[in-house]
Amino acid sequence: MSELLVLALKFAFLALLWVFILFTGTVIRSDLFGRRVPAAPAQA
C-alpha cells in the first residue's frame, strides 16, 4: 500500500474513534441527566 493510503486510513480511523467517543459521551450524559423536554407553550 502506498504511504498516502496508509496515512488516510490512519486519519479516518482516528476520526471514527472521536465520533464514537462523542457519541458515548452524549449517551452517558442523557442517561445521567435525562432527555431535554421542550417547554409547553403557554395557554392563553
pTM for the model: 0.65
For residue 38, being part of any structural domain is answered with no
For residue 40, being part of any structural domain is answered with no
Amino acid 44: pLDDT: 64
Q: Which domain holds residue 23?
A: 1-32
Q: Which of 22, 43, 25, 26 is nearest to 35 (CA)?
A: 26
Give the largest Cα separation in the chain, rounded: 68
Written as tens digits, the pLDDT of the chain (44 aa) is 899 999 999 999 999 999 999 999 999 999 998 877 777 777 76
How many domains would you assign to the chain? Answer: 1
For residue 10, being part of any structural domain is answered with yes
For residue 16, being part of any structural domain is answered with yes
For residue 44, being part of any structural domain is answered with no
For residue 41, being part of any structural domain is answered with no
